[in-house]
Amino acid sequence: MNMTTPIKPARLRGDRVTMAHGGGGKAMRDLIEEIFTDVFLPPGSEDQARLTSDALREPGAQLAFTTDSFVVSPPEFPGGDIGKIAVCGTVNDLAVGGAKPLWLSAAFIIEEGCEFALLRRIVASMQAEADKAGVRIVTGDTKVVERGSADKVFVTTAGVGVIPARRDMRAENIRPGDVALVNGVLGDHGATILAARGDMALTTDIQSDCQSLNALIEAVLQAAPNTRAARDATRGGVASALNEMADAAGVQIEIDETTLPLRPEVKGVCEVLGLDPLYLANEGILVLFVPADEAGAALAAMKSVDAGRNATAIGRATSGVAGRVTMSTLFGGQRLVDTLVGEQLPRIC
């Protein structure tokens, strides 16, 4: 006899969110259960998550906690969507501090008229990325706002992880002589979002670099246990990440333009629009500083995982002017790489 899983009857009516789905009654419960908790949470979930982990019992372990909001436009784009970014961004904020991400929350601000199909795709994408990163989405919330008060859907996440004992990855640990590494090509996400908006008739095959980096960081720490610090180069790009790290450590950071990994398509977009790829957003790129004698091992470890196939060294910390970032240009000169004022592209994450 063939055994099949019974199909649950559809509870939602129509194909779009209405204000009734935020009113606290049956319509809201149907929205939450059919689109969110059926994917994220087991039946019978409470209003709070109750969390346990053996990692918390290790003497000297620390709890890490982060939160972020995501308002990317458009909400779906080549290589990802707002849901995937929400998971990757939160996982990466924990991982670059040395934490092992464990649990996430997800709250959704949904505009009246948003399509159920879009929400289903976003939720499926989030769960797929959470599974890939080895984290669980354990609690959340939904709110519905009037048409015109949002842009289809906004997502706010929080993440909890554990920093193992004796692991210290803070930017202030960077020392002169330490080598700066990046795990892949720069600017793909910013260029992808710009093209996806369709405002400038750009056509390109670039896809967002959106990816979780916790496995890559663990591989690096195994190979280079004295890794100093890491930052994910999201809004403001690699330039902003380097400036933050130089300022925190009180060192000068010098990079070499000839070593920067950039796709010709990204260079072309930047040249046409007058943008600087150093400031373009990334959603799967980090800057990592390691002692010079561990740089080779760290680079090999990065290249051993998918998220680091295009890893390369781009510069080093020096004892020059504290807080300054400079770049040796293709023409043999020196250029100041300052902190970005404002944003090159709004609503990119």
**Could you read off the pLDDT tens digit of each residue along the chain, which spans 349 residues?**
344 444 455 678 789 999 999 888 899 888 988 999 889 876 556 677 888 888 888 889 999 999 999 999 999 999 999 999 999 999 999 999 999 999 999 999 999 999 999 999 999 999 999 999 999 999 999 999 999 999 999 999 999 999 999 999 999 999 999 999 999 999 999 999 988 887 666 667 889 999 999 999 999 999 999 999 999 999 999 999 999 999 999 999 999 999 999 999 998 888 888 889 999 999 999 999 999 999 999 999 999 999 999 999 999 999 999 999 999 999 989 999 998 776 667 788 8
The yes-or-no answer to whether 19-44+60-163 and 171-336 have a common fold is no
Structure tokens at 259: 């070593």
Provide the CA 300 distance to its chain's centre, in angstroms: 23
Position 301 scores a pLDDT of 98
- Domain spans, the chain: 19-44+60-163, 171-336
Q: How far is CA 318 from CA 222, 245, 252, 336, in A?
A: 26, 12, 5, 15
The CATH number of 171-336 is 3.90.650.10
CATH architecture of structural domain 19-44+60-163: 2-Layer Sandwich (3.30)
Structure tokens at 203: 């056509």
Task: Note the helical H segments in 134-198.
Answer: 188-196
Beta strand spans in the chain (E)? 62-70, 76-77, 80-81, 100-111, 136-145, 153-163, 179-182, 229-232, 252-256, 286-290, 312-318, 325-328, 334-336
**pTM of the shown model:** 0.92
**How open is the CA angle 227-56-231, to the nearest 5 degrees?**
30
